[in-house]
Amino acid sequence: MEERVQKILSRAGLGSRRACEELISAGRVRVNGNVAVLGSKADPQRDRIEVDGRPINLAEPLAYIAIYKPRGVISAAQSPDPRPTVRDLVPVPGHLYPVGRLDVDSEGLILLTNDGELANRLTHPRYGHEKEYRVLVARRPDETQLETWRRGVVLEDGYRTAPALVRVESLAGKGTWLRVIMREGKKRQIRETGSQIGLPVVKIIRLRIGTLQLGNLKPREWRHLGEAEVMALKEPMGLKGQPGKPQPRPAKAGVKPRQPGSRPKKSGEPARQARRTPEKGRRR
């Protein structure tokens, strides 16, 4: 059965669907000797699909691993940087790619998987997937700074951050631990936001990606996800309704919603008079 090439590549463990689309756009993918383009389809059982001249392997068994990334470790499967990657910390065979990257100075939860469909759902902005952090800032914030962070700020490159949930968790000497929940993940966004509003960030620990919790994992520790955890991640990401489908508009204040099957009034048409039924057996 034919399907889009990027979906086949993703299922074969070559990254998220978006990452596989980049492989195709770069001309690195061939189907039966012909360079694939976005939109190309193939049958993995019948067609020869190659990436950089090497045939892809058939789909591996799906794997899902939660890991506590420590500081100083790179959030990548491989890197020219001599520092270790999260993949180096998990001695499990197969193609595993990080979902929910953290900068090298941050720590906390990362998901490693070869499930490209899930990786796409967890990282694509369309799904607005929540990520939760503990953030240590060097000062004690005032309410104005917290409200600014909650509303969103304009970063140095002109990008305006989306609204976030921010609350004070505890004091730490001259600094403060904050709890921050976001639905986006621009590179170094938390650090740049803190710098922009006068709250230098000292430490970042990610606690949650959607429904997946860091739990009791310590730095460098990892574990396989249970079936219930995987199923929860594949739910509609905590959003109302199915992602990508338009939701019904809320009724305006004071306007009674139209009942199913009723005919909407045409422009200029007088309102119908309520039909009166004769009263039976009325006593005088």
* Predicted pLDDT at 234: 87
Q: What is the model's pLDDT at position 281?
A: 44
**Structural element, H or E, at residue 120:** helix 116-123
* HEC sequence for 30-92: EECCEECCCCCEECCCCCCEEECCEECCCCCCCCEEEEEECCCCECCCCCCCCCCEHHHHCCC
Which class for 22: exposed (0-12), middle (13-18), buried (19 or more C-beta within 10 A)? Answer: middle
Considering only CA atoms, which of 188, 204, 198 is closest in space to residue 145? 198
Residue 209 is predicted with a pLDDT of 94
At residue 13, the pLDDT reads: 75
Q: What is the CATH number of domain 64-126+213-233?
A: 3.30.70.580
pLDDT value at residue 269:
47
For domain 3-55, the CATH class is: alpha beta
Cβ-Cβ contacts under 8 Å for 128 (sequence gap 6 or more): 183, 184, 237, 239, 243
**Inter-residue contact 60 to 13 (CB < 8 Å):** yes
Active site members: 103
Scored b (16 or more CB within 10 A) or e, 243-280 reads eeeeeeeeeeeeeeeeeeeeeeeeeeeeeeeeeeeeee
Looking at the whole model, is its pTM more than 0.85?
A: no
- What pLDDT, on the 0 to 100 scale, is given for residue 59? 65
The CATH 3.10.290.10 domain(s) of the chain lie at 3-55
pLDDT of 57 reads 75
Give 174: exposed, middle or buried? Use CB within 10 Å, 0-12, 13-18, 19+: exposed
Interatomic CA distance for residues 87 and 269, integer angstroms: 69
Give the pLDDT of residue 152: 95
| Backbone phi, psi, residue 5, to 5° | -60, -40
Looking up tokens 């694939």, which residue turns up?
Answer: 36
Where exactly does CATH 3.30.70.1560 map onto the chain? 130-209
Give pLDDT tens digits along the chain (284 positions): 788 998 888 878 788 888 899 999 999 999 999 999 999 999 887 889 999 998 987 667 889 999 999 999 999 888 888 899 999 999 988 888 899 889 999 999 999 998 888 888 888 777 778 999 999 999 999 999 999 999 999 998 999 999 999 999 999 999 999 999 999 878 899 999 999 999 999 999 999 999 999 999 999 999 999 999 999 998 864 433 333 333 333 344 344 444 444 454 444 444 444 444 444 444 44
Tell which CATH classification among 1.20.200.10, 3.40.50.2300, 3.30.70.1560, 3.40.50.1360 matches the domain 130-209.
3.30.70.1560
Quick one: pLDDT at residue 175?
A: 97
Tokens 């969103």 belong to residue = 152
From-to residues of CATH 3.30.70.580 in the chain: 64-126+213-233
